[in-house]
Every structure is written in structure tokens, then in C-alpha cells.
Amino acid sequence: MTRPIPPKADGADLSPPAEISAGGDAPAASGDLADRLRWFAPGTHITIRGLNKTFADGTVLYRDFDLDLPRGKVVSIFGPNGCGKSTLINMISGILDYDSGQILFDGKTARETKIGYVFQNYREAGFPWLRAIDNIRYPLKFLKLSQAEKDARVEKLLASFNVSIDLNRYPYELSGGQQQLVSIMRALVIEPEVLFLDEPFSALDYEMTLFLRDKLQSVLTEMQITTLLVSHDLDEAVELADEVLLLTRKPTSVAARIPFTAPRPRNAEITVTPEFIDVKARSLEIFQREVRKT
């Protein structure tokens, strides 16, 4: 069963905005392609159609790439080094331009969608001139909310994370893990429709990683946000995921999609269950097959 994308006022918008701030005035799609673009599985949130990305040096990364991503689920993206995981989520989130193709969120562009993004490099992504609490508050200024509503949002978020950091400090006065926690809260405070995380824990020590993973896990279970997580740690990718998305080497395509349906909330103990081990083993096998291909 399929259902149509709510048509946009100006018809299907096939080419990406030349610049992110512009957009919406691209030429309409022609016959066949437009039909193909209109259809997707129920429960889908993000649709990617005919995506092309070639770098200036001639590297073809994505060619005619299609993907549907489900609403309210966590999808972990896993694949060989340099296969284009970051590039993919950067194109989806609107940070990076693509050559052609279409990426829509319920028929909306990235610009029209509330997006949270957690970068790997928390040191260079936070605003060091703002106190931690003001970093968390900052994205709220782009929402039309009253001051009281904004304060309530922040309060609610802090309550659900239940952390004991002094948020009146500046980011550089916090530990790496605390800084990344602030980044995660900054991404979530707007109650985003979609959350992107690009190797959010890979610069942290193991103890901090486990702690943040648990926090993120429980908050995501509570908030039900469509989430795309890039991780190079297969345990982490599986533990947090409703589905593991495995990518091939470039030019990149989807190697496999493996669902993981264990109940939430989950914690590190899940890693010893048969279902987890099975999903991990299958993922690993496909991953190794892809890595061996030349």
C-alpha cells in the first residue's frame, strides 16, 4: 500500500536549492519521474529520490540514490570508511548541497523542517561565547514561541535529561562528555522533527559514551523523533537502532536494511540477547562483504 506525498503548491521540486536559503522555485518535474517521486511506503517520513552527488575532483559518491526513512524511528547508518555516511546526512539535513535529486520530509524541504544536528566535533560546534545554558536555548530563537513557552521547553528538557552539570559555565569549562551532552540538548530543545547525529560519541571515553548512549536512548524513546545516527561502533549502532542501514563502498548504495525490534528502553545489557547478537552478526557479515569488494 502506498500513499501520495502531499503535493507542494508549486509541484514537485526536483532540483535542490542552489543555495540553502533560496529554493522552492525550481522547475517542475516531467511525467514519469514525477510519478515515481510521488509514491512511498506508509509511515515514511523522509523520501530521497534520484540523489546525485559528485565532488569537484570527479569522485562520484551518489548516483541515482533512492531511500525512504520511517517516521519516529532510529535508523543507524553503518558502512565502510569514507563511503559517504556524513555526506549523506549532511545532504539530507540541508548542510551540504547536492547536484540533483530530491529530498523531502513529508513533502517539505529541509529548510521547512525543524532539524536537530549533533556533530562529532563538539568543540567546534558549540558556541564558546555563550554559556552552556544559552547554547541550549539558542535554537529556540528561530521558533515562534513566547518567552514562557521557551523557558518551559528548556525546563522540560533539563528534567528529562536530569543532569547535574553547572550550565552557567562556558562550554570550554566543561568536560568533553558534558559538552557533547550540551550539544545533544541544544539539538533536542526545539523538539525537532528529525534528529541527525554524526558519530556523536566517537571523541569521548568509553564510560562517557555508555552514559550518553543511555541518556540518548531513553530520551529518544520518550520523544519518538525520526533519528539518523551515523556510528562506526556496531554495538552502538545496533543498540540504539530500530533499523540498521548498511551502505556499500562508493558509488554508494544501500547494501541492506536490518530491523532490530527489541523493546525499549534498552541498555548495554541488550548486547547479550540472542536477537541483538543475530542482528549484529548479519550486519557484520554484510559489512565485511562490502569492505572486501574493491
Partner 1 sequence: MSDKLTKYLPRMGWIQPVLGALALILLWAFAHVAQLVDPVLLPSPLESWNAFVEGMTEGTLGHDFWRTIVRTMLSFAIATLIAVPLGVALGSSNKLYRSVEFLIDFFRSTPASAMFPLFLVFFGIGEEAKIAVAAFGAALIILFNTAYGVMNARQLRQLAARVMGASRTRILWDVTIWESLPQTFIGLRSGVSMALVIVIVAEMFIGSSDGLGKRIIDAQMIFNMPEMYASIFAAGALGYVMNMLFTLIEARFVHWGGK
Ligand X SMILES: Nc1ncnc2c1ncn2[C@@H]1O[C@H](COP(=O)(O)OP(=O)(O)OP(=O)(O)O)[C@@H](O)[C@H]1O
Which of 59/273 has CB closer to ligand X? 59
d(CA 235, CA 283): 10
Of the ranges 4-12, 117-125, 158-166, 230-238, which one interacts with partner 1 (CB under 8 A)?
117-125
Closest alpha carbon to 55 in 268, 251, 217: 251
Among ligand X, Mg ion, partner 1, none, what does residue 81 contact (CB within 5–8 Å per kind)? Answer: ligand X
The SS3 call for residue 36 is helix
Q: Which of 63, 111, 114 is nearest to 87 (CA)?
A: 63
- As given in the structure block, the three cell numbers for residue 293 are 569488494
Q: How far is the CB of 199 from partner 1 (least distance, A)?
A: 14
Span of 7-15, 30-38, 112-120, 273-281 interacting with partner 1 by CB under 8 A:
112-120
Which of Mg ion, ligand X, partner 1, none is residue 206 near (CB under 5 to 8 Å by kind)? none
Task: Tell whether residue 93 is a contact of Mg ion (CB under 5 A).
Answer: no
* Interacting partner of 83 out of ligand X, Mg ion, partner 1, none (Cβ under 5 to 8 A depending on kind): ligand X
Considering only 21, 30, 81, 162, the residue that binds ligand X (CB under 6 A) is 81
Cis peptide before 251, with omega less than 30 degrees from 0?
A: yes
The C-alpha R_g of the chain, in whole angstroms, comes to 19
Q: Cβ–Cβ contacts within 10 Å for residue 67, how many?
A: 20
Length of the chain: 294
Q: Which is nearer to partner 1, 133 or 256 (CB)?
A: 133
C-alpha cell at 63: 548516483
Is 57 a binding residue for ligand X by CB under 6 A? The answer is yes
3-state secondary structure of 198: strand
Minimum distance from CB of 257 to ligand X (Å)?
A: 17
| Contact residues for Mg ion, defined by CB under 5 A | 86
| Contact residues for ligand X, defined by CB under 6 A | 55-57, 59, 61, 81-87, 232
